[in-house]
Chain A
Amino acid sequence: MAEAIKPKKTLDCVGLYCPEPLFQTREQIDSIEVGDVLEVLADDPAAEEDLKRFAKRTGNELLELENKEGTLRFLIKKMK
C-alpha cells in the first residue's frame, strides 16, 4: 500500500446539503496550487455524484473516495 496522501487542505462539508459541497469544493480547488490535494468530507449522498462529475468535468483527479459509515471522504488533486 502506497503511503497515505497528505492533503494540503481539508474541507468539512458534513451536515451541508447539495449543492453546498460542490460550491465549496470549487472554491477551495481554486485556492490551492496545481499538484496540491484537497480533502473533502461530506455526508450528503448527492455529494458523491456531484464531486465525481466535478472532477471529471474540470480535469482534476479524484485520487480516493471512501465511505466510512455514511461520511464520504474525497481526495482531489488539482491538475490544472
Chain B
Amino acid sequence: MVDDADALVTLTPEVFRKERNIDARILHEVTEIDLKGRRLQVRQLDGNKKAWWEPFDQLMIATGALPIKPDVPGVDATGIYGVHTLQSGIEVRTAVDQERPKRGVIIGGGYIGLEMAEALVRRGMEVSLVERAEQVMLTLDTDMGALVSEALMAVGVKLFREESLQGFDVRDGRVQRVVTDKRTLPADIVILGMGVRPNAALAKEAGISLGEKGSITLNDRMQTDVEGVWAAGDCAQSFHLISKRPFYVALGTVANKQGRVAGINIGGGTAAFPGVVGTAVSKICAAEVARTGLQERELKQLGWKYVSERIESRTRAGYYPKAGRITVKVLAEKGSGRLLGGQIVGYEGAAKRIDILATALHGGMTVQEMVHLDLSYAPPYAPVWDPVLMAARQVEKLI
C-alpha cells in the first residue's frame, strides 16, 4: 500500500528537537532503572558506545511489546520473522521482494497472521497458516471465527486448524520446514504471528508492579505504583469498561490515548483515561473483521448470564450494486438487555459498523435502546434496517 517506509515514520528526532523542544535520542538503550537513586543506566548503541547514569525527576516507561517467540527448536534460524516494529516489517518486505520466496508459512491466525497472509498472497506466494485453535481470530467467538477461516481459504490460504507448532527443520542455519504435531510444511519464509507480550523486564527488575499478562499496572492517570513513574502503551495495563477488570491490550489507538493522558499529567495538568471496551478491526483481502466488548469465552469466565444472536444481511440495499454480505453478532445481558459485545464479519465497509456497537457500549446502552437508534440510511449505504439494528432487534427477543 505504502511504497516508501519513510512515509510511515511520523516523527524524527530532528522534528522533536526543532519543533517540540524535546531531546529525543535514538539508538540509546536503557539497561537499568534505579528507583532509589532516581536515575537510569543508559548505553549508546552506536558511535563511541559509552554508558552513563542519567538522572530523572519523572519517568515515563513506554517500552512497548515483544512478539511471543515460541520455545521450539530452530526458532532462531534465518527466514523466520516476527513483525512487531516498522523495522521488522521492512525486513520481511525486503526479504520477500528480493529473495522471492515461493512458500510462506504463517504461525498464528490473529491480526498479524491474517494481515501477513494477505500480504504474501498478494505477492503471488503459496501461503499456509497454522492455527492452534478450532478457528482463527480467537478474539471472535468460534462461530464468527469460522467465517474468517472460510475467508482465508477463499483467497487460497491453506489453513491448518487445531494444529500446533513443534519446531523448525533447519539446514545451514536457514529454515526449510515447519513441523507441527500433524505434518511438516516446506517453507521458504516463516512469519510468527503468535501475539505479543508486554516488554516490561526493566520495570519488573526495578520492582514496579506488574499485572495482567505481565503488563505494568496503572491507575487512570497512567501512574504506576511508584511515585513519579508513569507508563503507557503496549507495556502497560488498561481497564475494561464492560468487565470492570484490569485488561491488557496492545493497540495503537489505546497507546496514543494513554500517552496523551500521561503527558498531560506529567506536565502538571489533569487528565484521566477511563479504559477500553475492546474494539479492534482487521481484514483479509476484501473480508473485513471487527469486534468490540466481551465475547462468549470472557462472559463465561466472568459467570455472567447473556444472550446472543447472529444475523446475515447486506451492507447496502439488496438491489444496489456492490452490496456485500455482512454477518453481525450481538451479545447482551440476560434480563437487562445491556449490550455486552458485538462482532462483525463482512464486505464493503462492514467493519466500521463496529463503531456503532463500540459507542453503544461506552454509553451503557441496552439492545432495547439500540433498536431505535437514528442511524443514517440511503440505498448506497445500508439496507433500510441497518444490520446492527437488525441484530439488536433479534437479541431483544431473547433477553
- Whether the Cβ atoms of B100 and A19 lie closer than 8 Å is no
In the complex, residue of chain B having the shortest beta-carbon distance to the beta carbon of A16 = B286
Verify if B1 is at the interface (C-beta below 8 Å from A): yes
Instruction: Given A17-B286, A44-B286, answer yes or no on A22-B122 (Cβ-Cβ < 8 Å).
Output: yes
**Can you list, as one digit per residue, whether each of A4-43 has a CB less than 8 Å from chain B (1) or not (0)?**
0000000000010111001100100000000000000000
- Whether the Cβ atoms of A49 and B286 lie closer than 8 Å is no
- Whether the Cβ atoms of A19 and B1 lie closer than 8 Å is no
Verify if B25 is at the interface (C-beta below 8 Å from A): no
| Minimal beta-carbon separation of B220 from chain A (angstroms) | 41
Instruction: Given A19-B122, A44-B286, answer yes or no on A57-B100 (Cβ-Cβ < 8 Å).
Output: yes
In the complex, which residues of chain A have a beta carbon less than 8 angstroms from the beta carbon of B100? 57
Verify if A63 is at the interface (C-beta below 8 Å from B): no
Q: CA of A18 to CA of B156 in the docked complex: distance in angstroms? A: 11
- Whether the Cβ atoms of A17 and B122 lie closer than 8 Å is no
In the complex, which residues of chain A have a beta carbon less than 8 angstroms from the beta carbon of B124? 22, 26, 53-54, 57-58
Specify which of A19, A22, A23, A26 lies most central, judged by the most chain B CB atoms within 10 Å of its CB: A19
Q: Count the A-B residue pairs with Cβ separation under 8 angstroms: how many? A: 30
Q: CA of A44 to CA of B122 in the docked complex: distance in angstroms? A: 13
**Can you list, as one digit per residue, whether each of B1-32 has a CB less than 8 Å from chain A (1) or not (0)?**
10000000000000000000000000000000
- Whether the Cβ atoms of A17 and B1 lie closer than 8 Å is no
A:49-63 near B, CB below 8 Å: 49-50, 53-54, 57-58
| Minimal beta-carbon separation of B35 from chain A (angstroms) | 49
In the complex, residue of chain A having the shortest beta-carbon distance to the beta carbon of B348 = A17
Q: CA of A58 to CA of B123 in the docked complex: distance in angstroms? A: 11
In the complex, residue of chain B having the shortest beta-carbon distance to the beta carbon of A49 = B1
| Minimal beta-carbon separation of A2 from chain B (angstroms) | 28
- Whether the Cβ atoms of B121 and A19 lie closer than 8 Å is yes
In the complex, which residues of chain A have a beta carbon less than 8 angstroms from the beta carbon of B168? none
Q: CA of A50 to CA of B155 in the docked complex: distance in angstroms? A: 14
- Whether the Cβ atoms of B122 and A18 lie closer than 8 Å is yes
**Can you list, as one digit per residue, whether each of B121-132 has a CB less than 8 Å from chain A (1) or not (0)?**
111100000000
In the complex, which residues of chain B have a beta carbon less than 8 angstroms from the beta carbon of A23? 156
| Minimal beta-carbon separation of B104 from chain A (angstroms) | 14
Q: CA of A49 to CA of B3 in the docked complex: distance in angstroms? A: 10
**Contacts beyond the supplied A50-B122, A57-B124: 17 A-B pairs with Cβ under 8 Å:** A15-B322, A17-B285, A17-B286, A17-B347, A18-B122, A18-B285, A18-B286, A19-B121, A19-B156, A26-B124, A46-B122, A49-B1, A53-B122, A53-B124, A54-B124, A57-B123, A58-B124
Binding site for B on A (CB under 8 A): 15, 17-19, 22-23, 26, 44, 46, 49-50, 53-54, 57-58
Binding site for A on B (CB under 8 A): 1, 100, 121-124, 155-156, 285-286, 322, 347
